[in-house]
Structure 1
Amino acid sequence: MDYLIVAFFAFFGGNARYLLGLSLPAVSGFPLGTLVANLLGCFLFSWLVKHIMADQNLNGRLILGVGTGFFGAFTTFSSFALDTIKLFETNILLAFLYLVLSVFGGILMAYLGEKVWRPKPHKEDLA
């Protein structure tokens, strides 16, 4: 049953990524759509799945579907790798920029997603 849930949500994540790629085409060979999808996906996965959904004790299958299905299809390592190789063949400076922005930007976005949502303690917890 879990694989059907992942597949269902992956349909929407993959389509969202595709539409984002159409609206943010490559500029001088720089894969802006893939970069934005991966950075946004890192932030939202960390923020939404790890904090909002888990803290609200939502159904584990919903978390699996959104986390693995939607964000797994929305972000893409294979496109990142292929885009990096293509850039190295045409523009080594853009390739390094893309590589640094993708790797360190993704880690930063996941970190920010962790920091944005911190539940405030209740007054009775402070006593």
Structure 2
Amino acid sequence: MPDAEPSRLVVVLAVIAAGGAIGAVARYGLAHAMPHQAGTFPWATFATNVLGCLLMGALLAWLHRARPARPLLAAFAGTGVLGGFTTFSTYAVETRGLLADHPVTALLYLFGTLAAALLAVILGSSAVRVAR
């Protein structure tokens, strides 16, 4: 967006920020609803990231076919809401925290999240393609 006029850039940033706030609150709510004890599988973060990837796959497939293009919707829903909702940084910190005392759980979480997230993107995008 380097060529975007300043007022357009402000609008895009505002849309992303609003979406990000919504996504972060939703993530917090899910984490609060599904607490986990230290050393156990972090189901809330796993569910958050897999659901976010499913929705991102569906959103991108839908946006790819949407005419006219909807760049503000992509910025709001994709970068904002789903970017604020998913939390791969927490996934990395939780994996690191599990490694010392719970290496099997850490490895299951590490590779299980990656596999499930990739599958979720494929399923989300495929569902939109089939539905159209």
Question: Which consecutive residues of structure 2, in runs of 5 or more, have no partner in the other structure?
Answer: 1-9
1:22 equivalent among 20, 23, 32: 32
**Are residues 1:92 and 2:88 paired?**
no
Deviations 1:40-79 (A, max 9, x none): 00001111x2123443335211111100000001001110
Q: How many residues are matched?
A: 120
Q: 2:65 aligns with which of 52, 55, 58?
A: 55
- Report % sequence identity: 30
When residues 120 and 93 of structure 1 are mapped into structure 2, their CA distance, relative to the original with a 3 A threshold, is closer
Q: Give the aligned residue type for 2:93.
A: L
Matched residue, 1:10: 20
The one-letter code matched in structure 2 to 1:91 is H
Is the Cα contact below 8 Å between 1:41 and 1:71 reproduced in 2?
A: yes
Question: Distance between the aligned counterparts of 1:88 and 1:13, measured in 2?
Answer: 28
Deviation at 1:114, TM superposition (A): 1.5
Q: Which moved more, 1:101-110 or 1:49-58?
A: 49-58
* TM-score, normalised by the number of residues in structure 1: 0.86
Q: Which residue identity lines up with residue 66 of structure 2 in the other structure?
A: Q
Supply the AA of the counterpart residue of 2:98.
L
Q: Which of residues 29, 52, 58 in structure 2 aligns to 1:41?
A: 52
Aligned to 2:120: 109
Contact 1:54 1:63 in 2 (8 A): no
Give the 4+ runs in structure 1 shifted more than 6 A. Answer: none
